[in-house]
Structure formats: structure tokens, C-alpha cells
Structure 1
Amino acid sequence: MDCSQLEFCDSTGLNVLLGARLKAEAAGGGVHLVAMRPVVARVFQITGAEAVFTVHDSLESALAD
């Protein structure tokens, strides 16, 4: 998921992403987050959600992974 234009994420947004991650994993996939802005990345750090998502600095690095 390209997060480069995401300027805000609260608990509701975080819960949506966590739900999407669970559904993706149940189907054999996953959710990778790309290009998070510092303010959004901070929410993931504070909540510990960064530990359950794969986060990439750029789309290129995500595609290479």
C-alpha cells in the first residue's frame, strides 16, 4: 500500500489496516506499507503496529523484496 499521500492515521485507520492484513494473510498474501510520512510512521511506532507490517522506504524496494 502506497502511503506517500497519507497525512494522518488514527486508531480507526490503524484498525482498518490491521484487518486488511489479517484477511490478506488468511488468503496467503500480506500487506506491505510503502513511503510512510514521519507523522504516520510515528503512530505505527507508538502503537507497536510497525512490528506486524513490512514497511519499505520506496515502491522500488518493496517490489524488489
Structure 2
Amino acid sequence: MRGTSGDGAAEPELGLSLSDVGEYAVISVTGEIDMYTAPKLREAVRQLSSEGRMRVAIDLTPTEFCDSTGLGVLIGARRRLSDSGGSLVVVCANPRIRKLLDLTGLDKVLDVRETVPGE
């Protein structure tokens, strides 16, 4: 591991911030989505749906890294919301993360956009 104080921490960092854009609850994700941090994102989506917020946008534009666990959370979030009559939009203007979605075919399964609808 490289880095100095704070930079080579044993556990990756994940930051979530919530905002509203039109009828969407937007979760902006910074840092890394992996097996250690993905449960935090899963819980954020679960919390929104339990509050009746059924239109959710997950903004991966500021995300630095996403592994298969993170991709699984996106699929699970889509399923959870659509089963309840809601919808998920994945916002991704980050070329690295967008390439990951394209390579895995998730760009065909998920509603991937450059911006949050209504922005």
C-alpha cells in the first residue's frame, strides 16, 4: 500500500451524499464501491425505498472504483425499486466507470444517463 497518513488506509472510503433533483432522490457516491463499502450503498437505497422514495438516481460520476460487489448492489437496487413500482437511474459521466458498465453489459440492463433526469 502506498500513501501517507490517511492515504493508504486499510479500509477503502465511501462517501454518500443525498440530494433531490426534481422527483429523484440522488445518491452521489465518492470513493470506492467494493465488498467492504457496498453494504453502505445498499442500505442507503433500502432506506430511501422504506421512506417511499421510489425514484432514485445513483450518481457514479465522482466514483473512483467499483467492483463486482458494487455492480451487484446496482442490480439489486434496480430490482428492489422496480418491484415496488419505482425506478433507478444510474448517472455516470465518468469514462472509467462508464466503460465498466459497457463491458459488463449493465448499460443494457440499467438506465444509465449522463445527468439526472430533470437537471
TM band (smaller chain): 0.7 to 0.9
Flag the structure with higher strand content.
2
- Structure 1 residue aligned with 2:115: 58
Equivalent position amino acid for 1:27 in 2: S
With normalisation by structure 1, the TM-score equals 0.83
Contact 1:10 1:43 in 2 (8 A): no
Equivalent position amino acid for 2:81 in 1: A
Q: How many residues align?
A: 62
Q: 1:53 to 1:13 in 2, by over 3 A?
A: same
- Structure 1 residue aligned with 2:73: 16
Contact 2:92 2:98 in 1 (8 A): no
Cα distance in 1 for partners of 2:77, 2:115 equals 21
- Structure with greater contact order relative to length (CA < 8 Å, sep ≥ 6): 1
In structure 1, runs of 5+ residues without a counterpart are none
- Structure 2 residue aligned with 1:44: 101
In structure 2, runs of 5+ residues without a counterpart are 1-57
- Structure 1 residue aligned with 2:87: 30
Which portions of structure 1, spanning 4 or more consecutive aligned residues, are displaced by more than 4 angstroms?
none
Flag the structure with higher helix content.
1
Percent identical:
35
Contact 1:6 1:36 in 2 (8 A): no
- Structure 2 residue aligned with 1:7: 64
